[in-house]
């Protein structure tokens, strides 16, 4: 690039001929002629080299047409690719092919504003069931904007206990979002409609409960990932004796670990964003509609081995 600039300077500003420039700089006249003919600095352009995944593309496409749900690792095994799927080159190509085949909607990546939505779900910790012989659910909630996560174990999937858990968690969030999202959870939904007890709770709270559409997991992807995070990071290598013990450990972990982690999607910690989210939420009613709760308060204080089994 420096030779190109000097050639043009000597020609345009000094007025030297091509031969004179070549003699002064010790280069060929052809190099001078090329530099004078080009008004842009020269740049090296390497011919594109094909990816080692290219030859597998027809086989990958054929598998995706048969079953779009196949994971990249499974596809790599089926087509005989051993180039290291962990490098993400193969995964990226699979995703590109899914987009090209119309199997992924780019608009599925949902964007939320502060205070817009909290996604809700039930999570069933396996270690608790093994240690106590009881299958108790954990009500989980995550704020879609800040990724702030809260959870509490309740003694059954009955509507009153689920609503009691929601009361506890919304109190921790410190406000009511514009929308609460639930899937078709049998404890509060029947035939795609809220049961009367849940409807009464929503009316008393002034809450808008939205139900997800069937076969649309992307709609509640944030809470699904949060449940997976609980199962992989909170639950392993822990022992529990009572619901209170479980909830004490869970609350401490949520505040000390989960909500202090740096979330790549937001570039911030949930604990740093939750105050901004609260400012966009509506205040909770005072008092909360606790008359609808059946057994959460009583059973949460008892040892699980002394509590009667409840249907799950």
* Portion of the chain with pLDDT greater than 70, in percent: 82
Do residues 234 and 253 touch, judged by C-beta distance below 8 A?
Answer: yes
- In the chain the beta strands, taken as DSSP E runs, fall at 117-123, 138-143, 149-153, 179-182, 189-190, 193-194, 209-211
Segment 180-228, tens digit of pLDDT: 999 888 888 988 889 999 999 989 888 899 998 776 666 788 999 999 9
CA nearest neighbour of 136 among 155, 162, 115? 155
CA–CA distance, 59 with 94 (Å, rounded to integer): 11
CA nearest neighbour of 136 among 277, 289, 311? 311
Average pLDDT over residues 6-27: 82
15 burial level (CB within 10 Å; 0-12, 13-18, 19+): exposed
Average pLDDT over residues 118-145: 92
This model's pTM is above 0.75: no
Q: Residue 2 — pLDDT band, cuts 50, 70, 90?
A: low
């Amino acid at each position: 690039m420096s030779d190109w600039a000097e050639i043009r300077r000597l020609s345009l500003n000094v007025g030297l001929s091509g031969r004179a420039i070549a003699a002064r700089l010790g280069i060929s006249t052809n190099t001078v002629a090329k530099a004078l003919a080009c008004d842009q600095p020269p740049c090296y352009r390497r011919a594109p080299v094909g990816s080692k995944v290219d030859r597998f593309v027809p086989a990958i496409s054929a598998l995706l047409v048969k079953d779009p749900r196949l994971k990249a690792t499974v596809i790599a095994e089926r087509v005989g690719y051993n180039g290291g799927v962990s490098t993400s080159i193969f995964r990226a190509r699979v995703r590109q092919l899914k987009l090209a085949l119309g199997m992924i909607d780019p608009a599925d990546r949902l964007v939320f504003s502060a205070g817009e939505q909290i996604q809700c779900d039930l999570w069933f910790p396996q270690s608790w069931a093994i240690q106590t012989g009881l299958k108790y659910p954990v009500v989980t909630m995550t704020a879609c904007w800040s990724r702030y996560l809260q959870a509490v174990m309740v003694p059954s999937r009955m509507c009153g206990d689920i609503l009691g858990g929601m009361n506890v968690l919304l109190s921790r969030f410190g406000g009511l979002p514009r929308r609460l999202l639930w899937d078709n959870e049998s404890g509060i939904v029947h035939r795609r409609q809220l049961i009367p007890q849940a409807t009464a709770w929503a009316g008393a709270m002034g809450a808008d409960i939205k139900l997800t559409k069937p076969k649309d997991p992307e709609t509640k992807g944030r809470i699904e990932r949060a449940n997976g995070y609980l199962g992989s990071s909170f639950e392993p290598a822990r022992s529990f004796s009572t619901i209170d013990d479980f909830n004490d450990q869970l609350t401490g972990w949520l505040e000390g670990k989960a909500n202090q982690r740096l979330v790549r999607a937001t570039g911030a910690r949930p604990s740093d964003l939750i105050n901004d989210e609260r400012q966009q939420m509506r205040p909770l009613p005072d008092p909360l509609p606790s008359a609808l709760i059946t057994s959460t308060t009583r059973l949460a204080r008892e040892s699980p081995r002394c509590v009667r089994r409840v249907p799950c």
